[in-house]
Chain A
Amino acid sequence: MSDSNNDSIHEDTTTGLNNRKLLMWAFLGSDCMFFASLIATYLVYKGKSVTGPNPIDLFSIPVTSVSTFVLLMSSMSMVLAYSALTRGRLKVFRVWLLSTVILGMTFLGFQVFEFRDFTVNEVKISCEQNSPKYLELENKLSNSQKSEYKKQCSENLESAHIEFGMTPRTNLFGTTFFVLTGFHGAHVTIGVIWLLSLYFYSFKRGAVSAERHLDVDLAALYWHFVDIVWIIIFTVVYLFGVYEGF
């Protein structure tokens, strides 16, 4: 760590501010544009997929609500870690920092579960004539899925099990959704690694203290940023995605 990390030293820069912190804010501003372009791409292609599945067929709002809550709580534990550090309470800082890492990893676990669930999704369609489920999905099924349905029903089965999963290659919704949430997940992963490295670094004598808190401050800013991006994704992608009027 450089000498500029010592926050008790007056910042001898043209702005009088720490350059690393200024750079972090500039980076966060530019990352806003990055995510904005991904969100805009998701929105402009929304409802333009030729085949299903669509958001309403896959999203589970209760599950995503829990993961959203987990990420919000991780922001709280992060700021409490930072607050403890600035008050010189290193042990309390470590507890809150480790809590943040655990909550971040829990959020990633939810995302992995969700991605896997979307990929292996399957629908059960009754083989009776004019089956309501078939009529509902008729426009969303691809030709191969329709052939599979007919094939299974021709074998005198009561119902057919059709693969209705989604990968980034399935349709426009799949591509835009996985790219957006995948990049967010990558940001969270980087954040978890960063926080974990700070946790171990704090055991080095004098490396992290009330006077030398800039490293933690920068990591905290980054962590809160991934939280605010998710706040927007949750509303725009998930809630608006399932709402048919949007």
Chain B
Amino acid sequence: MNKEETSNHPTPKIYISTALILSLLTAIEIGIFYITSLGYWMIPILSILSIAKFALVVMVYMHLKYETKIFTIMFLTGLILATAIVFALMTLFRFF
């Protein structure tokens, strides 16, 4: 990676805004956790919030959004396989 490639990286302002969004999402997660009336809806809602936080860190802090697609492919391959492992094991052990 040369210096020109880092020039398209976000500014500190965006990094701090991202941190605020991450904190807010975490606060929402914790708040939702204590709302017992949500019942089973809690699981998809918390999952979506968690995935959103994961994606924010990967795209903004790890700069995947701003860098070459090859890095995205390298990481996504592992991530897709990892997700497949989780669902395969859960199916195999009759979790569902």
Chain A residues with a Cβ under 8 A of chain B: 7-11, 15, 17-18, 21-22, 25-26, 28-33, 35-37, 39-41, 43-44, 61, 65, 68-69, 72-73, 75-76, 78-80, 83-84, 86, 210-211, 213-214, 217, 220-221, 224-225, 227-228, 231-232, 234-236, 239-240, 242-243, 245-246
Does B74 lie within 8 Å of A18, measured CB to CB?
A: no
Q: Which of B23, B53, B90 contacts A231 (CB 8 A)?
A: B53
Contact with A along B8-29 (1 / 0, CB 8 A): 0101100110110011001001
Of the listed residues A84, A217, A224, the one surrounded by the most CB atoms of chain B closer than 10 A to its CB is: A224
Interface residues of B, Cβ cutoff 8 Å to A? 1-3, 6, 9, 11-12, 15-16, 18-19, 22-23, 26, 29-30, 33, 39-40, 42-43, 46-47, 49-50, 53-54, 57-58, 60-62, 68, 70-71, 74-79, 81-83, 85-86, 88-90, 92-93, 95
In the complex, how many angstroms separate the beta carbon of B4 from the nearest chain A beta carbon?
Answer: 10
A243 partner residues in chain B, CB cutoff 8 A: 33, 42-43
Bound CA span A80–B18, Å = 12
For residue A28, which residues in chain B have a CB less than 8 angstroms away from its CB?
Answer: 75, 78
Residue of A32, A220, A231 with most chain B CB atoms under a 10 A cut-off: A231
Query: How many contacts A-B (CB < 8 Å)?
Result: 153
Q: Are A231 and B54 in contact (CB under 8 A)?
A: yes
Contact of A79 among B2, B61, B78, B79 (CB under 8 A): B61
B15:A61 contact, CB within 8 angstroms: no
Q: Which residues of B contact A32 (CB under 8 A)?
A: 75, 78-79, 81-82
User: Contacts A43-B86, A83-B9; is A73 near B78 (CB within 8 Å)?
Assistant: no
Interchain CA distance A70-B54 in the complex, whole Å = 16
Given the interface pairs A72-B23, A240-B46, the reply to whether A224 lies near B62 with Cβ below 8 Å is: yes
7 A-B pairs with C-beta separation under 8 A: A25-B74, A28-B78, A32-B82, A36-B83, A72-B26, A73-B19, A227-B57
- Within the complex, the shortest CB–CB distance from A22 to chain B, in Å, comes to 7
Closest to A31 in B: B78
Give A236 to B75 CA distance when docked, in angstroms: 21
B85 and A245 within 8 A (CB): no
The answer to whether A61 and B30 have CB atoms under 8 Å apart is yes
Closest to B52 in A: A231
Q: A32-B78, A240-B46, A243-B33 are in contact. Are A228 and B39 (CB under 8 A)?
A: no
In the complex, what residues of B have CB within 8 A of residue A240's CB? 43, 46
Task: Let me know if B57 and A228 touch, CB within 8 A.
Answer: yes
- Cross-chain contact A21 with B71 (CB below 8 angstroms): yes
Which residues of chain A come closer than 8 Å to B85, judged between CB atoms?
33, 36-37, 40
Distance A31 CA – B74 CA, assembled complex (angstroms): 12
Of the candidates A76, A83, A210, A239, the one whose C-beta lies within 8 Å of that of B33 is A239
Who on chain B is nearest to A72 by CB?
B22
Give the residue of B1, B11, B33 whose beta carbon is less than 8 angstroms from that of A217: B1
Given A17-B1, A22-B74, 11 other A-B residues pairs in contact with their CB atoms under 8 A: A7-B2, A21-B71, A30-B78, A36-B81, A83-B12, A86-B3, A210-B3, A224-B62, A235-B47, A239-B33, A243-B33
